Amino acid sequence: MNLGGAATAAIGALTADRERLRALLDGFAELTEPDSGPGVTRLAYTPLERRAHAVFAAELADLGAAVRTDAAGNTIAELPGTDPAAPAIGTGSHLDSVPNGGRFDGIVGVVAAMETARLVVRHDAAHRHPLRFVVFAAEEGARFGQACTGSRIVAGLTSSDDLPGKRDADGVSFADAMAAIGLDPARVGEARWDPAGWAAFVELHIEQGSVLESTGRRVGVVDAISGSTRLRIDLAGRASHSGGTPMHLRADAAAAAAEIVLLAESVALRAAAWGTRATVGRIDVAPGSMTTIAGSAALWVDVRGLDIDRQQRAAAEIVEGAEAACARRGVRLTATPLAETPPVPLPAAVRDTLVAGCRDLGLDPAVLPSGASHDAQQVNEVTPTGMIFIPSRDGISHDPAEHTDLDDVALGTTVLAASLLRLDAEL
Ligand code: HGY
Ligand code: MN
Ligand code: MN
């Protein structure tokens, strides 16, 4: 599509400043829980996540944007367009992390949004649509099990009723954590977005995989985002003396847990489950003494897929296999669903615009699915949404070793800024 001279000129002018991006990334990386060990620990609905949102809000306010925090704890900044009646075009991501996570997951999408806003203001780039820059609260499911809570709330997928029930390892619920940072969980319905107020949304994110790196691409455009079925499995066996109890008289909860971990892996490796990923990233065992057979155990199971049938069937097969193993071992099993998110194909119109924008910048983007889930998945319920990926070194993420080259962050930001202006010209 021929964008016309003005739009093309505006797009060409917006080149991200890598040193400003470095400073923003370094600043957010310092906001980690004291004595929390390596990497970044800035969990959902904690005071530290609020401090990170405040950094974003101050920067956007300095640029003259109107900034507000909604009832879900999302922070939304807006630069008015030339047509006040036009729906908004938006970008953004999240600032919360997993425990001992990396410096880039979610953060690059936020610093890219901040730099894009600065470029638009600095170069007085004309845009008809209002531009909205969003930091979603509580994207990581690591603390409460449910991922993408801030974006699910704006999409109407999570309501106030859902918040008291989901609890973290200390028994603190979403509702408790929100109230502790000054939010009112009873009012999250007020944060819901009206589709009529939106034209499109684009999220920049690290790939959290190794497709871009292994194919020598510097940028990717996402065509589908994986879903996730998450559950907790509690096992009740019989604690007893590790020396005095013969092997055939045991109900060993740790041994049952170990069998379930390997079962989950084998289910995902079956040909029928192709493309499904199953992970048990956490096991708690009690009493946790070397000379006592484990009386109880808890496992957290994460099943991901790009095909909802295979995703849900794999989760069901894991539970069925676990029940059979526990019956054989004399261990009682309780499976509790934690979260269910379907895979989402992203709209071709936005995907193709992002691809064309990359090509205009002389890039050859990969078009690929996302193995991780994202806020974009939920926002797509409200407005046509796209995602831009930049490479993850060695495909590592959710770990202190997570790394993306600053040049790739800068290039991704330049692509994001160009994409927003291209969408502004096309819509
Ligand atoms: O867990 C995920 O897929 C994402 O990083 N929240
Ligand atoms: Mn993320
Ligand atoms: Mn993540």
> Average pLDDT of the chain?
96
pLDDT reported for residue 257 = 98
More confident residue, 40 or 3: 40
pLDDT of residue 341: 93
Among all ligands shown, which has an atom nearest to the Cα of 102?
3
Flag whether pLDDT at 1 surpasses 80. no
Position 24 scores a pLDDT of: 98
pLDDT tens digit string along 228-276? 999 999 999 999 999 999 999 999 999 999 999 999 999 999 988 888 9
Mean pLDDT over 383-405 rounds to 98
Tokens of 136: 């979603």
Q: Express each pLDDT in 295-311 by its tens digit.
A: 999 999 999 999 999 99
Mean pLDDT over 404-416 rounds to 97
Q: Which ligand 1 atom sits nearest the alpha carbon of residue 302?
A: 1
**pLDDT score at 411:** 97
pLDDT tens for 160-192 read: 999 999 999 899 999 999 999 999 999 999 999
Could you give the angle at which helices 253-269 and 308-329 cross, rounded to 10 degrees? 150
Average pLDDT over every residue of 387-398: 98
> How much is the pTM?
0.93
Q: Is 372 in the pocket of ligand 1 (CB under 6 A)?
A: yes
Q: Is residue 7 very low, low, confident or very high in pLDDT (cuts 50, 70, 90)?
A: low
Assess whether the C-beta atom of 141 lies below 6 angstroms from ligand 1.
yes
Ligand nearest 40 Cα, by number?
Answer: 3
Find the 207 Cα to ligand 2 centroid distance in Å.
9
Using CA of residue 209, residue 154, residue 69, residue 89, what is the dihedral sign?
A: positive
The per-residue pLDDT for 274 is 86
Q: How far apart are the first and last CA of the chain?
A: 12
The pLDDT value recorded for residue 281 is 95
pLDDT for the residue numbered 377: 97
pLDDT of 51 higher than 70:
yes
380 Cβ closer than 6 Å to some ligand 1 atom: no
How much of the chain, in percent, has pLDDT values that exceed 70? 97
Lowest mean pLDDT, pick from 40-49, 102-111, 271-280: 271-280
- Ligand 2: distance of its center to the CA of 397 in Å? 9
Ligand 1 atom with the smallest distance to the CA of 142 is 1
- Give the pLDDT score at 3: 58
Q: Which ligand is nearest to the CA of 227?
A: 1
Looking at the predicted structure, is the pLDDT value of residue 214 above 60? yes
Judge whether residue 58 has pLDDT over 90. Answer: yes
Q: Tell me the ligand closest to 370's alpha carbon.
A: 1
What's the rounded mean pLDDT across residues 132-141?
A: 97
Counting ligand 1 atoms within 8 A of each CB, the residue from 373, 378, 392 with the most, and so the one to mutate, is 373
Residue 263 Cα to ligand 2 middle (Å)? 28
237 ligand 1 Cβ < 6 A: no
CB 36 within 8 A of CB 135: no
Cα of 34 vs centre of ligand 2, distance in Å, is: 22
In this prediction, residues 347-364 reach a mean pLDDT of 95
Nearest to 45 by CA among 154, 142, 186: 142
Q: Which atom of ligand 1 is nearest to the CA of 140?
A: 6
Type of residue numbered 113: A
Q: Mean per-residue pLDDT for 325-342?
A: 96
Q: Could you give all domains of the chain from N- to C-terminal order, each with its CATH number?
A: 5-226+343-426 (3.40.630.10), 227-341 (3.30.70.360)
Q: Report the relative pairing of strands 366-370 and 220-225 from DSSP bridges.
A: parallel
Cβ 140 under 6 angstroms from ligand 1: yes
Pairing type for strands 220-225 and 344-345 reads antiparallel
Ligand 1 atom nearest residue 98's Cα: 5
